[in-house]
A and B are shown apart, each in its own frame.
Chain A
Amino acid sequence: MTEIEHTANTGHSDDRTAMSEAGAAPDPVHRQTPLHASDQPYDAHVLAQLDADAALIIARYPQRRSALLPLLHLVQSVDGFVTGRGVNWCAEKLELTAAEVSGVATFYTQYKRHPNGDYTVGVCTNTLCAIMGGDEIFERVSDHLGIGHDETTEDGKVTLERVECNAACDYAPVVMVNWEFFDNQTPQSATALVDDLRAGNEVTPTRGASRACAFKHTERVLAGFPDGLADEGVGAGPASLEGLKVAHQRGWTAPDPGADDDHGPEGADGAGEAER
């Protein structure tokens, strides 16, 4: 893994940022950009939109500070990562210090501290997925793209990550693309997936919207702004329905509320359900 100091990174980088000076053309993508690296002000119209969105977010909570997590998602939806100007803007909106905001931003793994690719490809390598093939998938995709964990392809399309358990163990091994489920993957399917992403082809999650959306788009949704795609995709994938299928086959249902049922599901109180 080679990590080269970003040219815009004028400050000293921390110890974990391995630097390779040797013969390096400035690498536009592999870098640990400090949070203060991007301080140029927002354009007026961008700022106006941010401020309007922030007002809506803050209004969802009894106390302002609760808006911080969605505001940081919102910053990423504009800047592609948590920038210095984004931190300052959050601080201003919530009457916090920049240090307080940075302290929060650096705690959560979804907040990126350097520019992210258009698609975060997260291969689950927690125990169950790893054993079912997640390790092989990560290795193969990593070799194929020539990047390691938390690194981005030179075209800026794909950021590869090892992710922790994403609550889809019955679909192992699982790959997430911008936090959409790609279930039951193999090394072949996952390399084809990243090839499609780099070529600009649409890719369809197994359980999710009809297409994987770009990073900034997804971050806007995570800030709490619906994109109208909720009705796309399946309700449940095949594994989610295995138990129900067995129950159907064997004629099993939940127990009848039975004798003591004075207000059972067939009761008369359902009248007028449809109109309000």
Chain B
Amino acid sequence: MSTQLTPILTKFWDDPQSWTLDTYLRNDGYKALRKAVTMQPNELVAMTKDSGLRGRGGAGFPTGMKWGFLPPPDGGPRYLVVNADESEPGTCKDIPLMLAAPHILLEGVVITSFAIGCEHAFIYLRGETVHVYRRLLRAVEEAYAAGYLGKNILGTDFSLEVTVHAGAGAYICGEETALLDSLEGRRGQPRLKPPFPAVAGLYARPTVVNNVESIASVPSILLHGADWFSGMGTEKSTGFGIFSLSGHVTRPGQYEAPLGITLRELLELAGGVREGHELKFWTPGGSSTPIFTAEHLDVPLDFESVAAAGSMLGTRALQIFDETTSVVRAVARWTDFYAHESCGKCTPCREGTFWLSQIMERLEHGRGSQDDIDKLVDICDNILGRAFCALGDGATSPITSAVQYFREEFEAGMHTPAAELFPPSRSTLFAKETVAP
């Protein structure tokens, strides 16, 4: 039997005014919060642990465990910081969530803050989405007016202030410690861990950093129970998640489903690869996750199965490319991205991505040399695991996986430009439109 979709976070996105407090209240909004404030904070942490919820921002670290790492209260401030810096190429779930239903996130923020003893929470939104920022600011304003934020929430002793902070354009700020530096008004560069943010995070105080979708999942878990949540998905990858299909697919979009659904099932729901074409390669979770091919159509999209097949579930950003696409061109562009976004702190990443980008550029234009493939793999080997954060690792994923599955295309890059082998105009959505030569 095929896996069924489970609209939970996306349930009322089609409401004409989906973003307002009124709409949210008509859809069980803030009911979970009413329940939360009658519970003990440690019960909420335990519930989140029991649900098996794992971070939805890519790494998949158990959310409840992250909360549990905070040291015991010492009377000083503790912070919740929501990572809303969604920038991983292919990833496009948090931005539509916050545009359509910012109050789901906000309710999750209030509940989580209550659970971890935080009185000032931050939502760090990437700055390049101004309307999402408007919606979040408005939602916060509504929530203050309604008594879900501010002093003595719902008549309790619990008070919470929320600041929505707009970034200014830097992929690296999606890395949690770089995000904290950025939020402190610095260049967004990662910190050496340990200490982890749970011990010394924002302003060197105990801090929980969670992804938007993770926090937005909390109200439904509280409302329906940890068992309800863990009843979905697989044993170790419980619950639901938003799967984002993009690229050469008939109906790209957001599909909310239990973890463990396969690309074959998702493609069936999305009308398949665009008509007259076939799947060539895809990313399971953004550009930093090693690519897959048609042989991986039946890999269950959960953390363990995707890892066992040689990639990572990441952010469930399924970018679909058909047979018209040059894998060398695709990888060259991702490599440019990592070179552009490397913060420059760690030498292997700063220098390595620069050299990778030079070599990929040669190969894309049919000017590669005999030893370029070996050199690529060697440089990747020298970046992987040798930088503070995962950006460098991510830069190597598309290259090493593409060489593994499509080595012959890299070899062709020694004499033939990718644009000759795979004319770019055939890959475009407007392939029928006359494209200037």
Residues of A at the B interface (CB closer than 8 Å) are: 60-70, 72-73, 94, 103-104, 107-111, 122, 125-128, 130-133, 135-136, 139-140, 143, 163-173, 176, 178-181, 184, 186-188, 205, 207-209, 218, 221-224, 226-227, 229-231, 233, 235-247, 250, 252-255, 257-258, 260-261, 263-265, 267, 269-270, 273-274, 276
Residues from chain B with Cβ under 8 Å of A62 in the complex: 77, 120, 203
* Given the contacts A126-B333, A128-B246, A128-B247, A186 and B433 also touching, CB distance less than 8 Å: yes
User: How far, in Å, is A258 (CB) from chain B's closest CB?
Assistant: 7
Q: Which among A140, A235, A270 is the interface contact of B28 at CB below 8 angstroms?
A: A270
Instruction: Give the nearest-CB partner of B424 in chain A.
Output: A135
* B4 and A250 contacting across the interface, CB-CB below 8 Å: yes
Which of A104, A176, A207, A221 has a CB less than 8 Å from the CB of B133? Answer: A221
* A72 / chain B contacts, CB cutoff of 8 Å: 168
Pair A242/B254 contact, Cβ less than 8 Å = yes
Which B18-40 residues have a C-beta within 8 angstroms of A?
Answer: 18-20, 25, 28, 30-31, 34-35
**A126 proximity list for chain B (CB < 8 A):** 89, 287, 333-334, 337
Q: Which of A125, A218, A255 contacts B130 (CB 8 A)?
A: A218
Inter-chain contact B225/A260, CB cutoff 8 Å:
yes
Between A and B, 5 residue pairs with Cβ closer than 8 Å are: A167-B129, A172-B246, A208-B130, A237-B96, A254-B7
Candidate in A110, A165, A269 with the most chain B CB atoms within 10 angstroms: A165
Instruction: Take A131-B329, A167-B91, A243-B254 as given contacts and tell me if A261 and B225 are in contact as well, using a CB distance cutoff of 8 Å.
Output: yes
Q: Which residues of A contact B251 (CB under 8 A)?
A: 239, 242
Contact B334–A127 (Cβ < 8 Å): yes
Residues of B within 8 A of A222 (CB): 127, 130, 133, 166, 168
B224 touches A261 (CB 8 A): yes
Q: Is the CB of A236 within 8 A of B14?
A: yes
Which residue of chain A lies nearest to B326 when distances are taken between CB atoms in the complex?
A131
Q: Complex formed: what's the CA distance from A45 to B321 in Å?
A: 55
Whether B47 sits at the interface, judged by CB under 8 Å, is: no
Q: Does B293 contact A (CB under 8 A)?
A: no
Interface-lining segment among B66-74, B177-185, B298-306, B385-393: B177-185
Complex: how many Å from CA A139 to CA B428? Answer: 14
Is there an interface contact between B433 and A169, defined as CB atoms closer than 8 Å? Answer: no
CA of A88 to CA of B119, assembled, Å: 33
Please tell me which one of the listed residues B100, B337, B427 contacts residue A240 in the complex, with CB atoms under 8 A apart. Answer: B100
Instruction: Mark interface residues in B217-230 (1 if CB within 8 Å of A CB, else 0).
Output: 00010011101100
Q: Quick check: B4 and A257 within 8 Å, CB to CB?
A: no
> Bound complex: CA of A240 vs CA of B25, how far in Å?
21
Q: Which residue of B lies closest to A163 (CB)?
A: B128
Mask: chain B, 112-147; 1 = CB below 8 Å from A; 0 = not: 000000001000001111110111011001000011
Contact A276 B14 (CB under 8 A): no
Known: A229-B134, A276-B146. A186 touches B430 (CB 8 A): yes
**How far is A171 from B96 in the complex, measured between Cα atoms in Å?**
11
Q: Given A139-B436, A250-B4, answer yes or no on A108-B223 (Cβ-Cβ < 8 Å).
A: no
A135 CA to B426 CA, complexed, in Å: 13
Q: Are A269 and B244 in contact (CB under 8 A)?
A: no
| A60–B100 CB distance below 8 A | no
CB distance from A139 to the nearest CB of B (A): 7
- Of residues 45 through 102 on chain B, the ones whose CB sits less than 8 Å from some CB of chain A are 77, 86-92, 94-96, 99-101
Q: How far is the CB of B397 from chain A (nearest CB, A)?
A: 13
Contact B224 A264 (CB under 8 A): yes
- Pick the residue among B20, B256, B337, B343 that contacts A231 (CB under 8 A): B20
Contact indicator B25/A236 (Cβ below 8 Å): no
Inter-subunit contact B91/A61 (CB<8 Å) = no
* A residues less than 8 Å from B223 (CB atoms): 257, 263-265
Cα(A257)–Cα(B28), bound, Å: 14
Q: Considering only CB atoms, which chain B residue lies closest to A226 in the complex?
A: B137
5 residue pairs, one from A and one from B, having the closest CB atoms: A242-B253, A235-B18, A243-B255, A68-B185, A108-B168
Beyond A169-B244, A233-B131, A250-B5, 6 extra complex contacts between A and B, CB < 8 Å: A73-B168, A126-B337, A170-B244, A226-B138, A235-B18, A242-B253
Asked if B185 and A65 sit within 8 Å, CB to CB, the answer is: yes
State A22–B165 Cα separation when bound (angstroms). 46
List the A residue with the shortest CB-CB distance to B258: A255
Known contacts A72-B168, A169-B90, A239-B254; decide if A104 and B5 are in contact (CB<8 Å). no
A190 to chain B minimum Cβ distance, whole angstroms, is 11
Judge if B319 is at the interface, Cβ distance under 8 Å: yes
How far apart sit A68 and B186, CA to CA, in the bound complex (Å)? Answer: 8
Residue of B nearest to A218 (CB): B130
B192, CB-defined interface residue at 8 Å = no
Residues of A within 8 A of B308 (CB): none
Q: Which of B6, B86, B246, B330 makes the CB contact (< 8 A) with A253? A: B6
Query: Nearest chain B CB to A99's CB is how many angstroms away?
Result: 12
Q: How far is the CA of A123 from the CA of B429 in the complex (A)?
A: 15
Q: In whole angstroms, how far apart are the Cα atoms of A127 and B321 in the complex?
A: 10
Task: Judge if B310 is at the interface, Cβ distance under 8 Å.
Answer: no
CB within 8 Å of A: which B301-353 residues:
317, 319, 321, 325, 329-331, 333-334, 337, 340-341, 343
A227 to B128, CA, bound (A): 16
Known A61-B163, A110-B127, A264-B224; judge A230-B135 contact (CB<8 A): yes
**Residues of B contacting A67 with CB < 8 Å?**
185
Residue of B nearest to A274 (CB): B25
- Does B270 reach chain A (CB closer than 8 Å)? yes
- Do A246 and B90 form a contact, CB below 8 Å, given A132-B429, A239-B252? no
Task: Given A167-B92, A169-B247, A236-B96, check contact A69 B168 (CB 8 Å).
Answer: yes
Please pick, from B129, B424, B433, the residue contacting A179 in the complex, using a CB distance under 8 A. B129
Residue among B242, B269, B430 facing the most chain A CB atoms (10 A cut-off): B430
B11, CB-defined interface residue at 8 Å: yes
Instruction: Report chain B residues within 8 Å CB of A171.
Output: 252
